[in-house]
Structure 1
Amino acid sequence: MKFTIKQFSSGIFAFGVLVGGAFNIGTENVLASETAPAGTQFFHESQWVNHSPKYSKQVMHAVRVELGIDAQSNELDKTIEEMPKVQVMDHYSSAFGNKVKGTEVRLAVKEIFSIDLSYISKKDYGSKLALYPEKIMESLRISFKEQPQSTRQDERIMGLSKNDIMDRYMKAQNYTLTAVETRMLINQIYGVNLNGISNLEHSQLAISSKGQWIVKSDTDLFILESSLDDVDVSIYATDYFKRVTGSDQLPESLASKLLNLGFTYKADSNVLYYRNPANESVPDAFKGQVIGILLTTITAEFKN
């Protein structure tokens, strides 16, 4: 049975590590700003006058200048707010100059995505890894005056905060990382895939992870929730889903596909649950597969 739900644009994204979570991960949640409800990405000019800004004045001023207009002009504000968030981040980061440091990257992520990487670092949330990717490990080993393949400082490296890892790596690269490389680094260190998050705006899939809302709107249908270390993943219906369908039961087609991936069904709470048997963060490919299934279900069963 299909229900009439607000229409949105979505696709199956090459997602990798997103941030695998959804509602209420912990008692210290830092809430990210809610995304606009589906279908509101195109505004009439009369509506724009009373429109609540999506980004701060600081962001808008910097992006306007990068686009070649006066910092106080609002002629391109509608265009800016309709840009993918990663594109806005690139324009905003350019305002910091040719050599962007870790503190500036973390500020940009917080301003554009409302995700606090420093909070993740302080609480030691995020990907649970034995080692960071080899390129990062080799660079940090060299920074500790070891050979790239030496493991003598690995325990020390893995004991550093995520912010320290980022800062040390970016310094070793002489602060010359491209925007694409910087987002990849954020994914590898913090387990936060900004490309994937940007693509999920208006998807009607709520995600919260590492103590923070990542993607959220009033018309989300499903909730994807991960534990603070991304080892556990839970999926369940939102209040909006229950209101428009009259049921709190997940679609059978969705449940069947996720059960085949190794999820278990908790009947008492109507939750589909998965825990990585390796006791490590859920692999990139698995997260991408799960999100692809969720988006396919939303498109097939709930899109106009």
Structure 2
Amino acid sequence: MKIQFKTTAKKAVLVSIMTSIALTGGAGSTFAQASASPQSYEVQHVEQDTKYSKHIMRVVRESLGVDSKSTQLDSKIETMPKLQVMDLYLASFGKKVKGNEIRRAVKEIFDIDLDVVSKNDYGSKLSIYPAPIMESLRASFNVAPDSTEQDARIMDLTKNAVMDRYIKERDYSLTGAESRKLINVIFGVNLDGISALEHIQLGILSKGQWILKSDTDLFILESSLDDVDVSIYATPYFESLTGSRELPETMVTELVGMGFTHYEETDLLYYKDPTGGSVPDLFKGQVMRVLTGTIVNEYK
């Protein structure tokens, strides 16, 4: 039994989108060990009338020009890309948006708690942030943009503090797109990619949180807290469709060729970066292309 995408055009669009997306960087709850069985995948259903919280719905309704309590545009809101919902929500603050307000938007719209990521220092370990961030934070410590005097102090800050100082130096004027780019660099959370993957039927467990999860996911991609390990396994839903938890042969062949180990006894694909560092973005993108390509091409 296979899953039917509505049109060939949709399939082409999905492939195009997915080939440009890297994994979400950093990640995972405690990683499923290579010799262990894949962890149980249970979807919790929450009683809720709308896709988003009442607070988000009220704000977005008003941003679209209707009364905050009107349900007139709710179906439209719930089919919007999450990026668009986030932009409408942030626009409600006017021209200035603080870091804590952006993080609240991420939590309420994407269900990703950046405060937890920051508090536990999850994600990729960076020796230094990109130049625009370093220059802004150096300025926040009253040193020249090219001075390295305060770099150790900057790199010792929590991710939230780095985000807040950068936004303050930019006079709280970041757009939604700029905010998401900043979040990707600091936290290793690619919100653009997550939004595009929302309906691809791939579960992602990252930074101790479910980044994407639905009861029709076919595969789970799980990564370690420091982004050094990656694990891939099938879901019970996949087993109900195919009658087996055995991973597709073509997918296994491609990923083993990229350095994954296939543990046949548990049908688990496992990769650990040989340098002991975080998995590079280029490699993440290659893995994602294999997974999304398999889903779109073999389970349409």
Give the TM-score of the pair, scaled to structure 1: 0.87
Which among 175, 184, 187 is matched to residue 187 of structure 1? 184
The one-letter code matched in structure 1 to 2:137 is L
**Structure 1 residue 235 and structure 2 residue 232: aligned?**
yes
**Contact 1:140 1:168 (C-alpha < 8 Å) held by counterparts:** yes
Q: Whole-Å Cα distance in 1 between the matches of residues 266 and 254 of structure 2?
A: 19
**Contact 1:35 1:217 (C-alpha < 8 Å) held by counterparts:** no
1:16 matched to which residue of 2?
Answer: 22
**Contact 1:35 1:216 (C-alpha < 8 Å) held by counterparts:** no
**Contact 2:82 2:109 (C-alpha < 8 Å) held by counterparts:** yes
C-alpha distance after superposition, 1:46-85 (max 9, x if no partner): xxxx983101111011101111111111110000000000
Which among 79, 83, 86 is matched to residue 82 of structure 1? 79
1:142-291 counterparts in 2 under 5 A?
142-291=139-288
Q: Whole-Å Cα distance in 1 between the matches of residues 45 and 147 of structure 2?
A: 45
Cα distance, 1:73–1:202 mapped onto 2, change above 3 Å: same
Q: Whole-Å Cα distance in 1 between the matches of residues 237 and 23 of structure 2?
A: 26
Q: Whole-Å Cα distance in 1 between the matches of residues 173 and 117 of structure 2?
A: 24
Query: How many residues are matched?
Result: 283
SS of equivalent residue, structure 1 residue 98: coil
The one-letter code matched in structure 1 to 2:232 is I
C-alpha distance after superposition, 1:244-267 (max 9, x if no partner): 212122111001111121212223
1:4 matched to which residue of 2?
Answer: 2
Q: Whole-Å Cα distance in 2 between the matches of residues 111 and 7 of structure 1?
A: 29
**Contact 1:23 1:206 (C-alpha < 8 Å) held by counterparts:** no
1:134-149 counterparts in 2 under 5 A?
134-149=131-146
**Contact 1:22 1:223 (C-alpha < 8 Å) held by counterparts:** no
The one-letter code matched in structure 1 to 2:24 is L
SS of equivalent residue, structure 2 residue 265: coil
Q: Whole-Å Cα distance in 1 between the matches of residues 44 and 167 of structure 2?
A: 31
1:42 matched to which residue of 2?
Answer: none
The one-letter code matched in structure 1 to 2:186 is I
SS of equivalent residue, structure 1 residue 240: helix
Q: Whole-Å Cα distance in 2 between the matches of residues 268 and 20 of structure 1?
A: 28
Deviation at 1:285, TM superposition (A): 2.0
Q: Whole-Å Cα distance in 1 between the matches of residues 131 and 23 of structure 2?
A: 17
Structure number with higher relative contact order (C-alpha < 8 Å, ≥ 6 residues apart): 1
Identical residues among aligned pairs (%)? 56
The CA RMSD measured in Å over matched residues stands at: 2.3
**Contact 2:28 2:225 (C-alpha < 8 Å) held by counterparts:** no
Structure 1 unaligned segments of length 5 or more: list them: 37-49
The one-letter code matched in structure 1 to 2:66 is I
**Contact 2:30 2:224 (C-alpha < 8 Å) held by counterparts:** no
Q: Whole-Å Cα distance in 2 between the matches of residues 278 and 195 of structure 1?
A: 28
SS of equivalent residue, structure 1 residue 176: coil
1:39 matched to which residue of 2?
Answer: none
The one-letter code matched in structure 2 to 1:5 is I
**Contact 1:17 1:285 (C-alpha < 8 Å) held by counterparts:** no
Q: Whole-Å Cα distance in 1 between the matches of residues 218 and 158 of structure 2?
A: 35
Deviation at 1:138, TM superposition (A): 1.6
C-alpha distance after superposition, 1:179-223 (max 9, x if no partner): 111100000000000010001111110001000000000011111
Deviation at 1:109, TM superposition (A): 0.4
2:61 matched to which residue of 1?
Answer: 64
* Greater Cα shift, 131-140 or 13-22: 13-22
Q: Whole-Å Cα distance in 2 between the matches of residues 147 and 51 of structure 1?
A: 51
The one-letter code matched in structure 1 to 2:235 is T
**Structure 1 residue 299 and structure 2 residue 296: aligned?**
yes
Deviation at 1:277, TM superposition (A): 2.4
Cα distance, 1:181–1:235 mapped onto 2, change above 3 Å: same
Q: Whole-Å Cα distance in 2 between the matches of residues 177 and 58 of structure 1?
A: 22
C-alpha distance after superposition, 1:76-111 (max 9, x if no partner): 000000000010000011112210000000000011
Q: Whole-Å Cα distance in 2 between the matches of residues 35 and 216 of structure 1?
A: 11
Q: Whole-Å Cα distance in 2 between the matches of residues 34 and 287 of structure 1?
A: 28
